[in-house]
């Protein structure tokens, strides 16, 4: 064994390696569990007490020598490779961004800021809702199409529990609990039992607004939405209102903005129906108000020229990377 120790010692002292592969070869041959030195230690266990006293110290010194040599080789190899890793300052800077906000989050934040700047607070509520808050209190007749299965996701077999079809449910909850005046916007996710396509989806995102106070008029609604449109789409944006129908507002109107060479509808609005106020315990003779609602996806598609609604929920990095730097 003494001859083996001396032979391996000479090999270690004379070994040289200029790359990582050579270092790894050295480690496997002399340091690993299947190495020559480890084999010597296995043989050492079988020696007599006298032989162990004679060879124990040289064997331990050999193991220490191998470890020190491995360290030395590793240091030399890293120095050799450091030249290859030097920065070339003539090259363009690397992109160090670690991610970006989702386009829907960007648009949502912009909408919230616009309304927050004019005194609206932000509210939230449950996505799984009772019929009262999602339909009945909002003046939906029992035979209204929105109550049918093709529009609404019902939870289990209970006809009174649904996935909310709009964030108007939060308006009802707020009016039940708070006394006017109130001025809020309600961003959130909603659900419709619709076929997924480039223009529709089974879930999407809305922002709804509600303002209740004394002597609130349709002019207040129009002035608020004029301000929003110009802040969101630019000061040159033109706006028009067209009569429409919603169960929970009267009168009701859809708002269009000038877009390219025509008009494009972006939201629905109206004065809160007196029956809705009564359902929430608010005297319609003393208070009035307006409400509006818009789809965040629709606004984002206009802002960024997106023509397929499905892109927002497919998590395609090629799509999402286009919004780096946006806020």
**Would you state the pLDDT for residue 86?**
58
b/e sequence 24-35, b meaning 16+ C-beta within 10 Å: bebbebbbeeeb
Q: What is the mean pLDDT of residues 101-126?
A: 93
pLDDT tens for 243-252 read 999 999 999 9
Distance CA 327, CA 325 (A): 6
Mean per-residue pLDDT of the chain: 87
Distance CA 306, CA 327 (A): 17
**Would you state the pLDDT for residue 93?**
64
Distance CA 112, CA 106 (A): 10
In this structure, of 112-116, 148-152, 184-188, 268-272, the range with the lowest mean pLDDT score is: 148-152
**Would you state the pLDDT for residue 286?**
95
The most distant pair of C-alpha atoms in the chain lies apart, rounded to whole Å, by: 110
Of residues 30 and 146, the one with the higher pLDDT is: 30
Q: Does residue 295 register a pLDDT over 90?
A: yes
**Would you state the pLDDT for residue 80?**
58
pLDDT tens for 48-104 read 888 888 888 888 888 888 888 888 888 777 665 555 555 666 666 665 556 678 999
Distance CA 300, CA 80 (A): 52
Q: Does residue 232 register a pLDDT over 70?
A: yes
**Would you state the pLDDT for residue 229?**
94
| Residues 6 or more apart in contact with residue 320 via CB below 8 angstroms | 100, 102, 103
| Residue-range domain boundaries for the chain | 2-85, 103-323
Q: Does residue 149 register a pLDDT over 60?
A: no
Report domain 103-323's class.
alpha beta
Of residues 97 and 303, the one with the higher pLDDT is: 303
What's the pLDDT band for 293 if we cut at 50, 70, 90?
A: very high
Q: What is the mean pLDDT of residues 228-236?
A: 92
Long-range contact list for 311-318, CB < 8 A, 24+ apart? 312/102, 312/103, 312/104, 313/201, 313/203
Q: Does residue 231 register a pLDDT over 60?
A: yes
Distance CA 129, CA 175 (A): 16
Bridging pattern class, strands 121-122 and 182-191 = parallel
**Would you state the pLDDT for residue 38?**
87
Q: What is the mean pLDDT of residues 151-179?
A: 89
Distance CA 256, CA 302 (A): 13
**Would you state the pLDDT for residue 143?**
78
What's the pLDDT band for 303 if we cut at 50, 70, 90?
A: confident
- The dihedrals phi and psi of 201, each to the nearest 5 degrees, come to -150, 160
pTM of the model as a whole = 0.67
What's the pLDDT band for 233 if we cut at 50, 70, 90?
A: very high
What angle do the packed helices 49-82 and 20-30 form, to 10 degrees?
170
**Would you state the pLDDT for residue 88?**
62
The CA-based angle 176-180-182, given to 5 degrees, is: 95
What's the pLDDT band for 13 if we cut at 50, 70, 90?
A: confident
244 DSSP β-pair partners: 252
Task: Give the pair of three-digit tokens for residue 181.
Answer: 């005046």
What's the pLDDT band for 31 if we cut at 50, 70, 90?
A: confident
Q: What is the mean pLDDT of residues 148-174?
A: 85
Distance CA 59, CA 36 (A): 11
**Would you state the pLDDT for residue 73?**
81
**Would you state the pLDDT for residue 281?**
94
User: Does the bond joining 181 to the residue before it have cis omega, within 30 degrees of 0?
Assistant: yes
For the chain, what percent of residues have pLDDT higher than 90? Answer: 47
């Amino acid at each position: 064994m003494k001859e083996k120790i001396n032979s391996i010692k000479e090999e270690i002292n004379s070994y040289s390696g200029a790359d990582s592969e050579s270092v790894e070869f050295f480690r496997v041959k002399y340091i690993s569990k299947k190495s020559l030195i480890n084999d010597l230690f296995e043989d050492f266990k079988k020696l007599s007490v006298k032989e162990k006293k004679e060879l124990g110290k040289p064997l331990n010194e050999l193991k220490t020598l191998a470890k020190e040599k491995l360290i030395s080789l590793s240091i030399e190899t890293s120095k050799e490779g450091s030249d290859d890793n030097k920065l070339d300052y003539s090259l363009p800077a690397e992109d160090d961004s670690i991610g970006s906000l989702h386009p829907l989050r960007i648009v949502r934040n912009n909408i919230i800021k616009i309304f927050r700047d004019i005194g609206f607070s932000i509210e939230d509520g449950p996505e799984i809702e009772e019929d009262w808050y999602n339909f009945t209190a909002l003046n939906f007749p029992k035979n209204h199409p929105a109550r049918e299965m093709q529009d609404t996701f019902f939870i289990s077999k209970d006809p009174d529990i649904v996935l909310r079809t709009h964030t108007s449910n939060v308006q009802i909850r707020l009016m039940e609990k708070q006394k006017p005046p109130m001025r809020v916007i309600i961003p959130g996710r909603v659900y419709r039992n619709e076929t997924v396509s480039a223009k529709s989806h089974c879930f999407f995102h809305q922002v709804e607004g509600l303002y209740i106070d004394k002597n609130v008029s349709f002019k207040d609604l129009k002035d608020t939405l004029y301000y929003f449109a110009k802040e969101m789409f630019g000061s040159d944006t033109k706006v028009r209102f067209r009569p429409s129908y919603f169960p929970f507002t009267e009168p009701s109107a859809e708002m269009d903005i000038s877009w390219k060479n025509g008009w494009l509808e972006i939201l629905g609005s109206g004065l809160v129906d007196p029956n809705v106020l009564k359902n929430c315990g608010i005297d319609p003779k003393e208070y009035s108000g307006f409400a509006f609602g818009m789809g965040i996806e629709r606004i984002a598609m206009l802002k960024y020229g997106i023509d397929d609604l499905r892109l927002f929920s497919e998590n395609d990095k090629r799509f999402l990377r286009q919004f780096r730097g946006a806020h």
